[in-house]
Amino acid sequence: MIKACKDANEALARFKDLFVKPVFSGFILKGDFTVKSLVCLKQVPDTETQIKVMPDGSGIVTDGIKYVINPYDEFSVEEALRIKEKMKAGDVTILGLGPDRVVEAIRTALAMGADKGIHVSDDALLQADPYCVAEVLAAVAKQTEFDIIFCGHRAIDDDLGETGAILAELLQIPQVTLVTKIEVAADKKSVTCERDVEGGKEVVESPLPCVVTSQKGLNEPRYASLPGIMKAKKKPVDKKSLGDLGVTIEAKLKCANFTMPPERKAGQKFEGMEPADVAKTVVGLLRTEAKVI
Amino acid sequence: MSKVLIYGEVKSGKLKKSAFELASEGRRIADALGGEVGAVLIGPDTEKYAAELAKYGVDKVFLVDGPVLETYNSEYFAQAMAGVIKEKNSEIVLFSHSMQGKDLAPRTAAKLGTAVIADCVSFRLDGTTLVGRRPMYAGKCFSEWSATGTPQIASARPNVLETAEVAKAGAVEKITVEIDSSRATYSTKELNLDTSGKVDLTEAEIIVSGGRGMGGNDYTLLEEMAGTLGSRATVGASRAAVDAGWRSHSDQVGQTGKTVTPNLYIACGISGSIQHLAGMGSSKVIVAINKDTEAPIFTKADYGIVGDLFKILPEFNKELKALLSE
Ligand SMILES: Cc1cc2nc3c(=O)[nH]c(=O)nc-3n(C[C@@H](O)[C@H](O)[C@H](O)COP(=O)(O)OP(=O)(O)OC[C@H]3O[C@@H](n4cnc5c(N)ncnc54)[C@H](O)[C@@H]3O)c2cc1C
Ligand SMILES: Cc1cc2nc3c(=O)[nH]c(=O)nc-3n(C[C@H](O)[C@H](O)[C@H](O)COP(=O)(O)OP(=O)(O)OC[C@H]3O[C@@H](n4cnc5c(N)ncnc54)[C@H](O)[C@@H]3O)c2cc1C
C-alpha cells in the first residue's frame, strides 16, 4: 500500500495500521500520561422543531430547521473538558460526520474549550446507518490518539441509541453505556463510571481506552464564552472524506415510509367543578370509558 | 432451525414482561414465515424460566452459562448471544429496548456485522423481510426500517407489543459458547438496585407525573396515587421539576428524558411543552390537571381538569382508593 500522505501524522497512522493490529495510537505514543478524549458529536434539529414529513414519505422536511448539538453530546464535551481541567493536561478532539453545517456544531464545542475538530463530510453519509457511522468514527479513531471516546447514549433525532456500542465493538474496546459519573484513575489506565441500569445504578471499572456513552445527569454543560468563541475561530478543523479515511460503507439498515403520528385531539375538559365532583367523574370515566384502571 | 430468536431478560430473579411480549411477537412472525421461535437465556440457573416462555409460544429455550456469565456484562453476553445466533442460523433476532437491551443488542449486532432496528413499536413482514415501525424525534414522526442482510436484528419498546398465550414445547437445550474472556471489558464493582420493586418509567403501565406546578419537592400526593394504582404505576416528572432538583434525572419524561408509552399518563402541573409532549404523546390515555385553561397540555389530554392540583389530587386519591379497594 503506497499512497501519498499529507503529513507526518497520517504517515505514522498508516504505518501503524499496517504493522500493529489492532492498534491504538493511544497506547503507543502516549508517553506524557495526559488524557486524550475523542468526542463524537452529532448535529440534530433543535428540540423546538415541529417535524413535518415530506408528501412522498421519504423523509422529513428540512427547510428552516435550526440545528443544535445533540444534548447528550454536549454532556460529553463538558465531561471531556472537565477531565482535562482536573488532570491539568489533556486534549479534547471533536469528531462530527455530516454536511457542511456540522462545522458550526464543531465550532460551538471548540468555543466551549475543545482543542480541535475533525469533520468528515461525504454524500454517502447522508443515509448512513449506525453501523456505517460507527465504521467511519472507528476509522478516524484509528488515526487519532485517544484514551476515552465519548458518544451520546442516543441522538435525539433518529434515536437508535446504538452507535457508541457498535463503535466500541469495531475497535474491540470496552463500552460503558448510560454513564452519569466518570472518574479517571490517577495512573490514567482506567476509569470508574457510574451508569444507569434499570431501577438503579451500577459502578464499573473499565480499562482505557474505552467508549463511554453519556446520559443525562453527567453534568451541566457550560456555555461558550465570548473569548472562547473568538479563540474557536482559530482552532483547527480537519476536513476528511471517506476516501481520505480509506473506508467504503455498505448500508445495513434502510428506512422509508415516514408518517406523522396519529393526530391527538383534545378530549373532554372539566372546568369550574368542585374538586370532589370532578375527581369522582374522571376516576369513573377512567374505569368505565377509558378502561385503564 | 429457529427462524426467530428472542433474548429473555431476567431481572431480580424474574423474567421481565418484555420477554413474553417478544415471545408472543416472535410467535406471530414465525407462524407467518413457517418456523420456530427460540429464546436465549444467559447466566446461571435459568432453566426454571423455560416453562413460562413455552406458555407464550417459544418452541426451544437455549441456555448459555459459564464462569464469566454470572452477572451481566455487555462484552460477554454479546459473545454468548452472537454465538447462539450463529449456531442456530437465526434469521430474525428480537431484543427489548430496555436499559440492558440498549447495551446488549448493538454490541451483539456489531459482532455479526450489522446494526439494530431499535425501539420498534410494531412489526410486519414484507415477504421474508422484517419491517419495524419506530418513532423518531421522540415520537414527532414514525418511519419503517428494515435490514439489508441477515440476521435481521431488532429491538422492541417495552410495554407496547401484545402478549398472547400459545402453548408450545419450550424444549430446553444447553448451548456451549466459547467465551473469549481475554477481550477487554469493564468489571462491575457495585450494583445498587432499588429493591422497592418500583417499575421503571419506560415499562410502567401508569405514570403520574409532576411538573413545576408541584411547587417543590414534595411529591407525596403523586407517590400516594401511584401506590394506590399498584405495582405497574410509577411517578415521573417534567424537566422543570428535574432541573429544580425536586426529582432525579431518571424520572424525566420528554425528548431529552424518557419516551414513555403507558396506558395512562396523568400530568399534574405540567404545561405541555413540545419536548415534554414528544416524550409522552403516545400514551394511550392522557389526563391533565392544570390551573391554566390555556395550557397546551389540554390540547392532547383525553380528560382535562382545570383547577388547583393541591385541591384535586387529594380527592382523586380518595376516589381511586375507594374504587380499587372494591
Ligand atoms: C434523510 C435521512 C435519511 C436517512 N436514512 C437512513 C437509512 O436509510 N438507514 C439508516 O440506518 N439511517 C438513516 N438515517 C439516519 C442516520 O443518518 C442516523 O443518523 C445514523 O443511523 C445514526 O443513528 P442515530 O442518529 O440514531 O445515532 P445514535 O446511535 O442514537 O447516536 C448516538 C451517538 O453516536 C454519535 N453519532 C451519531 N451520529 C453521528 C454523527 N453523524 N457524527 C458524529 N457522531 C455521531 C454521537 O455521539 C451520538 O450521540 C437517515 C437520516 C436522514 C436525515
Ligand atoms: C434542549 C431542551 C430539551 C428539553 N427537554 C425536555 C424534556 O425532555 N422534558 C421536559 O419535560 N421538558 C424539556 N424541556 C423543557 C421544556 O421546554 C419546558 O421548559 C418544561 O417541560 C416545562 O416544565 P413544566 O411543564 O413542569 O413547567 P411549566 O411550563 O412552568 O408549567 C407549569 C404548569 O403548572 C401549572 N400549575 C402551577 N401551579 C399549579 C397548581 N397549583 N395546580 C395546577 N396547575 C398548576 C401552570 O399553569 C403551568 O401550566 C427541554 C428544553 C430544552 C431547551
Secondary-structure class of domain A34-245 per CATH: alpha beta
Q: Is the minimum CB–CB distance between B79 and chain A shorter than 8 Å?
A: no
The answer as to whether B192 is a domain residue is no
Report the gap between the CA of A289 and the closest CA in chain B (Å). 11
- pLDDT at residue B262 tops 50: yes
Does the CA dihedral B85-B91-B97-B102 come out positive or negative?
positive
Please give the residue range of the domain that contains residue B90: 4-174
Ramachandran bin of B176, using left for φ above 0, alpha for ψ from -120 to 50, beta for the remaining angles: beta
Residue contact B250–A258, C-beta within 8 A: no
Residues B114 and B225 in one domain: no
The answer as to whether B190 is a domain residue is no
Report the gap between the CA of B176 and the closest CA in chain A (Å). 22
| Last-in-domain residue among B174, B193, B216 | B174
Per-residue pLDDT reduced to its tens digit, B145-184 = 999 999 999 999 998 999 999 999 999 999 999 999 999 9
- Nearest alpha carbon to residue A78 among A259, A286, A220, A211: A220
- pLDDT at residue A12 tops 80: no
Ramachandran bin of A93, using left for φ above 0, alpha for ψ from -120 to 50, beta for the remaining angles: beta
Best residue for ligand 1 mutational test, from A65, A129, A154, A257 (most atoms within 8 Å of Cβ): A129
Residues B152 and B240 in one domain: no
Confidence check on the interface: ipTM exceeds 0.90, yes or no: yes
* Candidate from B137, B264, B284 with C-beta closest to A51: B137
Interface of B with A in 120-139 (CB under 8 A): 135-139
pLDDT value for A24: 45
Domains of chain A, residue spans:
1-32, 34-245
- CA–CA gap between residue A28 and residue A178 (Å, rounded): 29
Q: Which residues line ligand 1 (CB under 6 A)?
A: A 40-42, 59, 70, 72-73, 95-98, 127-130, 133, 151-152, 154-155, 158-164, 253-255
- pLDDT at residue B195 tops 50: yes
- pLDDT at residue A100 tops 70: yes
Residues B55 and B145 in one domain: yes
The answer as to whether B27 is a domain residue is yes
User: What does DSSP assign to residue A53?
Assistant: B
Kindly give the interhelix angle for B99-111 and B74-88, rounded to the nearest 10 degrees.
Answer: 60
- pLDDT at residue B116 tops 80: yes
The CA–CA distances, whole Å, from B96 to B16, B160, B190 equal: 10, 11, 24
The answer as to whether B44 is a domain residue is yes
Alpha helix locations (H) across A30-129?
71-87, 102-112
Report the gap between the CA of A20 and the closest CA in chain B (Å). 17
- CA–CA gap between residue A173 and residue A190 (Å, rounded): 12
* Residues A150 and A80 sit within 8 Å (Cβ to Cβ): yes
Q: Please give the distance, rounded to the nearest whole angstrom, from the Cα atom of residue A16 to the centre of ligand 1.
A: 29
Q: Is the minimum CB–CB distance between B284 and chain A shorter than 8 Å?
A: yes
* Candidate from A156, A251, A282 with C-beta closest to B255: A156
- Nearest alpha carbon to residue A246 among A88, A113, A135: A135
- pLDDT at residue A53 tops 60: yes
Kindly give the interhelix angle for A130-142 and B99-111, rounded to the nearest 10 degrees.
Answer: 70
Of the listed ligands, the closest to the CA of B292 is 2
Residues B251 and B141 in one domain: no
pLDDT value for A198: 87
The CA–CA distances, whole Å, from A39 to A91, A147, B97 equal: 11, 11, 25
Per-residue pLDDT reduced to its tens digit, A128-142 = 999 999 999 999 999
- pLDDT at residue B281 tops 50: yes
Residues B132 and B263 in one domain: no
- pLDDT at residue A1 tops 50: no
Q: Please give the distance, rounded to the nearest whole angstrom, from the Cα atom of residue A4 to the centre of ligand 1.
A: 31
Per-residue pLDDT reduced to its tens digit, A175-224 = 999 999 999 999 999 999 999 998 889 999 999 999 999 999 999 999 99
Per-residue pLDDT reduced to its tens digit, A151-172 = 999 999 999 999 999 999 999 9
* Residues A97 and A163 sit within 8 Å (Cβ to Cβ): no
Residues B168 and B61 in one domain: yes
Best residue for ligand 2 mutational test, from B209, B212, B294, B308 (most atoms within 8 Å of Cβ): B212
Chain A residue numbers with beta carbons less than 8 Å from the beta carbon of B323 are: 283, 287, 293
- pLDDT at residue B133 tops 60: yes
Task: Identify the band that residue A32 occupies on the pLDDT scale cut at 50, 70 and 90.
Answer: low
Asked whether B262 lines ligand 2 (CB < 6 A), one says no
The answer as to whether B194 is a domain residue is no
Residues B158 and B209 in one domain: no
- Going along A73-209, which residue ranges are E strands? 90-97, 116-120, 148-152, 175-184, 190-197, 200-207
- pLDDT at residue A20 tops 60: no
- CA–CA gap between residue A157 and residue B146 (Å, rounded): 18
CATH of residue B93: 3.40.50.620
Per-residue pLDDT reduced to its tens digit, B294-312 = 999 999 999 999 999 999 9
* Residues B232 and B16 sit within 8 Å (Cβ to Cβ): no
The answer as to whether B21 is a domain residue is yes
* Residues B184 and B212 sit within 8 Å (Cβ to Cβ): no
Residue contact B146–A253, C-beta within 8 A: yes
pTM: 0.92
Residues B20 and B97 in one domain: yes
B contact test, residue of A283, A288, A291 with most B CBs within 10 A: A283
Chain B residue numbers with beta carbons less than 8 Å from the beta carbon of A53 are: 141
Lowest pLDDT segment from A5-14, A115-124, B196-205: A5-14
Q: Please give the distance, rounded to the nearest whole angstrom, from the Cα atom of residue B122 to the centre of ligand 1.
A: 21
The answer as to whether B52 is a domain residue is yes
Report the gap between the CA of A232 and the closest CA in chain B (Å). 27
Task: Identify the band that residue A14 occupies on the pLDDT scale cut at 50, 70 and 90.
Answer: very low
Burial of A288 (0-12, 13-18, 19+ CB in 10 A): exposed
The torsion of the CA quartet B157, B91, B53, B164, rounded to 10 degrees, works out to: 60
Contacts of B303 (CB under 8 A, 6+ apart): A267, A268, A270, A282, A285, A286, A290, B285, B286, B287, B288
Residues B129 and B206 in one domain: no
- CA–CA gap between residue A281 and residue B315 (Å, rounded): 11
Residues B20 and B76 in one domain: yes
Count structural domains, chain B: 2
The answer as to whether B267 is a domain residue is yes
pLDDT value for B199: 84
Of the listed ligands, the closest to the CA of A40 is 1
Per-residue pLDDT reduced to its tens digit, B1-30 = 558 999 999 988 999 999 999 999 999 999
Residues B143 and B275 in one domain: no
